[in-house]
Structure 1
Amino acid sequence: MSVKNLELYKSHILEYGFSVINGIFSDEEVERIIHVLEGIDTSKENFRKSEDLFAIRQFLKEIPEIKSLIFNDMIQRVIKEVFGEKYVVVKSIYFDKPETSNWYVAYHQDLTISVDKKVELQGFGPWTTKQNQFAVQPPLTILENIYTIRIHLDDTDENNGALKVIPGSHTKGIYRPETIDWTVETENICKVERGGIMLMKPLTLHGSNRTTNGKKRRVIHIEFSDSELPEQLNWSEKTH
């Protein structure tokens, strides 16, 4: 992958709010990641398990041995050259959408960040707390600076829950899904190959459909920011 190519992906995500780059992980690298995932104890409280979804919050904290497999040279280049020198991990989740999943997600923006505690701060709110984990909607400037990498461990298309996005919606501030004007907006299905990644700005309106082809969809979702929070508050998962 050349630097020239990365510039193309960078301009695409800035303009449209998303970009797909295939071939970031080899088959062997994907197999190593899956091997670690298959060996974990799934009974921990940060793990959510149902017929339709298995999820691990604070993924990189819970499974630290997987970090060296995820942050290969390619991913490190993407972070540095597409996002910026100062970007660090601030949130991580693992999703496993089983073959028979009826799980679907309506169009939405990712409007909250994970922090270490709840404090009253101007411009921060509303707050939610789940299992002693704190999430808050921060000022728009912080949300605008975040980038997400979604690492795909399976081929993903519209039949097993590939993300559908509304290009350019990340530039329109808080955009309520019920106000989407389909006479001006278009929908794009983000197909990603096994070992590929999808880059996204969290303000990009996105959703996913139910699985209809009997194939798994396993995704590692990692958010990055270069923003400093007010001194009373810390990112709950910030890693350097």
Structure 2
Amino acid sequence: MNALERDGFTLVSALLSPAECRVIAGKIETMRCASVGTRRLLSQDWCRSLAVKIRQHPALSPLIPAGLVAVQCTFFEKSASRNWLVAVHQDLSIPVAERIEHSALQGWSVKEGQLYVRAPVEVLQRLIAVRIHLDMCGADDGPLRLVLGSHLQGLVTAECAALARQQEIVCVAEAGSALLMRPLLLHSSSKSSGKSQRRVLHFLFAPLELPLGLRWSDTV
């Protein structure tokens, strides 16, 4: 069993060069995100090309099963002017093309004009997130805090998630590195010291076909 399956995450260094990170950061800067990020980057041509590069990269392709496609890319930023934290949680919502009325589908919402639903657990168990760090992320930069192996527990209640934080580890990362993780892995992050900039691209890879008549809103 590899680290991704055993622990729920693995870190791959030097996926992108410093120059590539600067180019991507420049493209995001031209978008002038009004908040701490955006969930709608996959519509950008450069982002779609990057999704293909990720899937084909020799260090990542053995970890991303054949047939998985990119279905979303989210941008996050932490800095002195955009500092925030997030409580321990699992990523349960996925972007879909239209609403399907079914008793197994709950938690419908709309964010940035995109429809989301809480996915069935059998779908969540097959998803892989790839987080690309455009900047160095040290212990003071609001890194992810991960609870090893928690993705193997299925859906976790809020009470159990809070208790599980006693076993979390801090995941620091170099600029250009990629953190692969299972969305069911319990994770959180604290505010940064406010003295740095932490920018991350969060790609979600998933099986092309969904159950219950659901369809992805976009795929690459």
C-alpha distance in structure 1 between counterparts of 2:125 and 2:50, whole Å: 28
Match of 1:125 in 2: 106
| Maintained 8 Å contact 1:58/1:91 | yes
* Correspondent of 1:99 among 71, 75, 80: 80
Give the Å deviation of 1:80.
2.6
- TM-score with structure 1 setting the length: 0.83
Residue 177 of structure 1 deviates from its aligned partner by 3.2
Partner of 1:58: 40
1:83 paired to 2:64: yes
Give the aligned residue type for 1:83.
I
Whether the 8 Å CA contact 1:158–1:209 is kept in 2: the answer is no
Size of the alignment, in residue pairs?
220
1:21 counterpart letter in structure 2 = V
Matches within 5 A, 1:219-234: 219-226=200-207, 228-230=209-211, 232-234=213-215
CA contact (8 A) 2:89 2:161 kept: no
1:196-235 equivalent positions in 2, closer than 5 A: 196-226=177-207, 228-230=209-211, 232-235=213-216
Q: Give the CA deviation at 1:160.
A: 1.0
Unaligned runs of 5+ in 1: 1-9
Matched, 1:39 2:26: no
1:184 positional shift: 9.3
Q: Which of the numbers 189, 197, 200 marks the counterpart of 2:170?
A: 189
TM-score, normalised to structure 2's length? 0.90
Secondary structure in structure 1 of the residue aligned to 2:63: helix
Question: Which deviates more, 12-21 or 94-103?
Answer: 94-103
| Cα distance change on mapping 1:199 and 1:139 into 2, 3 Å | same
Q: Distance in 1 between matches of 2:20 and 2:52?
A: 11
The Cα of 1:15 is off from its aligned counterpart by: 0.4
2:1 equivalent to 1:20: no
Instruction: State which drifts further: 161-170 or 208-217.
Output: 208-217
Residue type matched to 2:204 in 1?
E
CA contact (8 A) 2:55 2:61 kept: no
Q: Percent identity?
A: 30
SS at match of 2:91: coil
Distance 1:68 1:19 in 2: 23
Counterparts of 2:102 and 2:59, CA distance in 1: 33
Two-structure CA RMSD over aligned residues (Å): 2.3
What is the CA–CA distance in structure 2 between the aligned matches of 1:12 and 1:215, rounded to whole Å? Answer: 30
